[in-house]
Amino acid sequence: MTLPAWFALFVAFALAIWVVREARRRTAHHETGRRFFRHPTAGWGIGVLAFFVIVAVVAPLVTSYDPRAQLDIVHLKNQPPSWSYILGTDVYSRDLWSRVAFGARVSLIVGALGMLVAATVGTLVGAVAGYYRHWVDAVLMRGVDVGLALPRIFVLLIAIALFGQLPLTALVLAIGLTSWFGTSRLVRAEVLSVRERDFVAAARAVGAGPGRVIFRHVLPNAAAPIIVSAALGIGNVLLLEAALSFLGIGVASPTPSWGNMIADGAPYLASAPWTTLFPGLAIALVVMALNAVGDALRDALDPRQESGA
């Protein structure tokens, strides 16, 4: 790797550490913030996430090669890590570190957007079901049961096999639309418990319409579990994208995504294990960080739940 890229990488590290410090400092006087950082892994989680996001954003600066460039298909294929190629090269003689860095873009975006779709749809469905109850609730929840009854990987396999290779947006939608069922149950439970409270009755007495009541009064109080489940859910979406790419449906080559990098490297596991190891480690690190942050958020936002703090 070239000198400017090394320099940029160190700056990225430093920036991530600075982000954690700043976050800690800024929230020190907030009860929620203090509870959040009391978790031993919370700071670490924020740092890892920050690092990967920074790398994804400035990917061209921290890498020296085009992630799609096949550098020398005869001599540079499946090379182990070295000073020029810090994570090695893959079977098409592409630099692995470049692909991990640019792959962060794809994987993180698919994860975030997929979760956004799932959270939005799930929240809407759950809120409507919880607020209106009776037959609306029954019908919607039966629909959720149907969705949960189909094993997720099958549904996605079938749906994606339908259209061959999906463009990125369609993939995000497909993942999102099959991941919202749990969120809707969660939101419904929250809405059911909040709707009986006084301030909601007051709002209704004043004549507020259902939409207003839901969005301005009910949901903000139900926000905490939604946020927590979203943070934890991005991890699941990332893992799902990896699994789909491994099966050959998912993000298409040559666009690098951590999932299809594992798929590319799997046939050469015995002779070039680094091609499978590093993308998998990247996924593991990001999902770990997301889980750590999610756990800490859960404790911070919900004072009723004590988890031994």
Partner 1 sequence: MTAWLVRRVAASIAIVFLVVTLTFILMDVAPGKPMLGPTERLVDPQAEAILNRQFGLDGPLDVRYVSYLRELAHGNLGLSFGLRRPVADALAEAIPNTLLLAGAALLIDFLIGLALGVYQALRVHRIPDVVLGNVTLFLYSVPTFWLGLILLLVFGEWLGWFPVAGMSDPILCPTVSSFYCAVDRLWHLALPALTLGFVGAAGTARFQRAAMLEVAGQDYIRTARAKGASERRVLLRHQLRNALLSFITLFGLAFPFLLTGAVLIETIFAWPGMGRLATDAILRRDFPVVNAAVLLASTMVVAGNLVADVLLAIADPRLRVRSGGGEPA
Partner 2 sequence: MLSAMPLERRLALVLATLVLGSTACQRAGSCTGAYCGTLVIGAVGEPDILLPPSTQEGVSRDIDEQLFLKLADIGLSTNTIGDEDFQPLLAERWEWDGPLTLVFHLDPRARWQDGQPVTASDVAFTFDAYTDSLVASPYRAALRRVASVTARDPQTAVFRFREKYPEMFYDAVYHMRVLPAHLLRGTPRDQWRTAPFGRQPVGDGPYRFVSWKAGQSLELVADSTFFLGRPAIRRLIWRFTPDLMVATTQLVADQADGRDQLVTPDNIGRAAAAPQLTIYPYRGATYGYMGFNLAANGDTTQPHPIFGDRDVRRALTMAVDRASLLKSVFGDYAKVPPGPVSQLWWIWDPEMRQLPYDTTRAKWTLSSHGWRDSDKDGIRDRDGQPLAFHLLVSSVSTIRKTYARLIQEQLRQVGVQVEIDEVDNSVVSERLAAGKFDAVMLAWQTDPTPSSGVPQVWTRGGFGRSNYLRYDNPAFDALVDKATSAATRAQARVAWRGAIETVNADAPAIFLFATDNVAAFHKRVADVRIRPDSWAALVRTWRIPPDRLIDRDRVEP
Q: Which residues are at the interface with partner 2 (CB under 8 A)? A: 68-70, 73-74, 77-78, 91-93, 161, 164-165, 248, 252-254, 266-272
Helix (H) or strand (E) holding 195: none
b/e code 154-184 from CB counts within 10 Å (16+ = b): eebeebbeeeeebebeebbbbbbbbbbbbbb
Strands (E), the chain: none
The residue assigned the tokens 């790797």 is 1
Q: What is the dihedral of CA 148, 151, 156, 162, to 10 degrees?
A: -110
- Position 82 contacts partner 1 (CB under 8 A): no
Decide if 242 contacts 283 (C-beta within 8 A): yes
Chain centroid to CA 107? 8
- Position 170 contacts partner 1 (CB under 8 A): no
Residue 194 C-beta: closest distance to partner 1, Å: 14
Residue 229 C-beta: closest distance to partner 1, Å: 14
Stretch that binds partner 1, among 92-100, 116-124, 214-222, 280-288 (CB under 8 A): 280-288
- Position 40 contacts partner 1 (CB under 8 A): yes
Q: Which of 243, 253, 254, 301 touches partner 1 (CB under 8 A)? A: 243
Q: What is the dihedral of CA 235, 11, 62, 95, to 10 degrees?
A: -70
284 binds, among partner 2, partner 1, none (CB under 5 to 8 A by kind): partner 1
145 binds, among partner 2, partner 1, none (CB under 5 to 8 A by kind): partner 1
Sign (positive or negative) of CA dihedral 92, 97, 98, 99? positive
- Restricting to residues 130-149, name those near partner 1 by CB under 8 A: 142, 145-146, 148-149
2 binds, among partner 1, partner 2, none (CB under 5 to 8 A by kind): none
Pairwise CA distance, residues 234 & 185, whole Å: 17
- Position 153 contacts partner 1 (CB under 8 A): yes
Distances (CA, A) of 78 to 66, 146, 274, 278: 17, 45, 9, 13
Q: Which of 83, 151, 169, 209 touches partner 1 (CB under 8 A)? A: 151
Interacting residues with partner 1 (CB under 8 A): 40-41, 142, 145-146, 148-151, 153-154, 157-159, 161-164, 189, 192, 235, 239, 242-243, 246-247, 259, 262, 266, 269-270, 273, 276-277, 280, 283-285, 287-288, 290-292, 305-308
